[in-house]
Chain A
């Protein structure tokens, strides 16, 4: 049985090598056309922007999860990025375009300095959960008690970015949408580059079996630090973006429950799909409650029920359905019909 699938998959290599980039480019093109489809509805654009932010946060979570650690402080570093961006633009008076990369770098630097503390003595996943969850719980309290950062009432009146290439960011959301598309492409390119390099293979080996990986000679600590710092870099970048997009932030937006909701986005799409899983998961978790709005009282109940049913009957996520047997059979027959009508006949004749 397994040999049969191998044989049918092998000749498709040539096709899949070209289809994947084309597929991604096509989705990117469709994504860029979304403002046309929604007809300039600011509300829908807002939902799309929030959805991508959530998806990127979940990508960060999966990035660390792939090295075998459950990271419960994603929101903390998101908040550090947001507050760093505000400090740079409001207190220091920098331009947004310098503050954006700078806040991401600041977040990554803070994460790098914290990494001996978070990862240095980590021998078990439980301890990382413990320390990172304390960090996650602490952020809202720490910022709330700091007068300089606005305390619990938050920071208001975050300035709009100055015009870039003649594009004005002070009104409308389309500019923000395209800025986010650019940032998303950068993030995905960064992630794909890492996942497909030797670093990504080391991460996979650590995630599959830390002890085995260590015995082969993979330096677990160093690779985990790389994953952790990369995750916080991405998350901090979008934190600064979010703060300037919304124009108002308060520490309550970065509390512990937000951290757990991130995992919903990640696991709904499927933890085995580091790029598309979070996008699908965040899309569902943002748009399904929106369409349940007319029955607002019951909306969250339905969301929770859908969540529990998905966990029970699709533990590998929505994208994981492509590994189900019946889906694979159908897709193989479609591929055979489209791409290789002659090859199927040749197989049948040579098989006898």
Chain B
């Protein structure tokens, strides 16, 4: 095995893995703070990709503005859905809202996927690559678009960590994720924290869709297919841990990249079985902790 192949596999795995990292960070923000299994999360990924495509196709804007528009559309829809559905459920049922929010998110998933199909059609689309360069260090095949993908994902993850660790809203998010009632007693406006978490999560989903689209193309069902992979990564990393999501996303990305080359599609099964074994011995993932779901 040559060194160039080695590097190529690592590079491609990193590109896929970092998209998974962004997505699972968003999913974890929702799961650990709002405490619901948000199955409509994949739909926002699709909305981000198609929002970007829509803006570029009909508004004739540059890719970067299109990306911004896609993210904004995803965030607006996410906040609206929280205000109209999940916030109401939380207000009505309190901590016992888990099942209702789960079903509500399935409804939202169907609504957004089918509504999306009505708006932008049932076709696979692709966004023209704005950074078409390729260079070949050590015989590898490194496209600038994938480098951009990696750069943006790392930047997004770093910003997320900064918000989570250093700012006031991040501190209140962490507090709410541990014990919501105690956080509310300390004067934290939990409703605002939930809204912020929803905004951050949907922004990350939209961003992931928008930066993935120029590299891998898109189709209306990509969100509902990716959601289970994201859940799997969450479970490997731990439901409450952002750092765990980063590690798990990179591991799964590398495993997919290497396994697809050496084993074909059987690698998915291998990943599932190994994650199941890990989860058996470490019930809350590599770095996670238990979350009171309040069934």
Contacts and interface: CB of A to CB of B under 8 A. Distances in A.
Please report whether the interface of chain B is mostly helix, strand, loop or mixed according to DSSP: helix
The winner among A133, A145, A312 for most chain B CB atoms within 10 A is A312
B110 A303 contact: yes
The winner among A125, A298, A311 for most chain B CB atoms within 10 A is A311
Interface in A229-271: 256-257, 260-261, 263-264, 267, 271
A181 interface: no
Contacts of B279: 127, 130-131, 134
Contacts, number: 122
A263 B290 contact: no
Interface residues of B, number: 45
Contact of A134 (B106, B108, B232, B291): B232
Could you say which interface size class chain A belongs to? 35 or more
Given A141-B272, A301-B118, A304-B108, A121 B103 contact: no
B114 A300 contact: yes
Please report whether the interface of chain A is mostly helix, strand, loop or mixed according to DSSP: helix
Given A260-B39, A311-B103, A131 B280 contact: yes
Given A126-B239, A134-B276, A141-B269, A311 B114 contact: no
B110 A145 contact: no
B284 A138 contact: no
A129 interface: yes
Interface in B217-275: 224, 228, 231-232, 235, 239, 265-266, 268-269, 272-273, 275
B103 A264 contact: yes
A108 interface: no
B120 to A, nearest CB: 14
A311 B86 CA distance: 10
Contacts of A315: 89, 92-93, 100
20 contacts: A68-B295, A70-B99, A121-B283, A124-B293, A126-B284, A130-B235, A131-B280, A133-B231, A134-B272, A141-B268, A264-B106, A264-B107, A267-B99, A267-B103, A297-B118, A304-B108, A304-B110, A304-B111, A307-B103, A311-B103
Given A126-B293, A263-B103, A315-B92, 15 more contacts: A124-B293, A125-B293, A126-B239, A134-B279, A138-B269, A138-B276, A142-B269, A145-B269, A260-B102, A260-B106, A267-B99, A301-B118, A304-B107, A307-B104, A307-B106
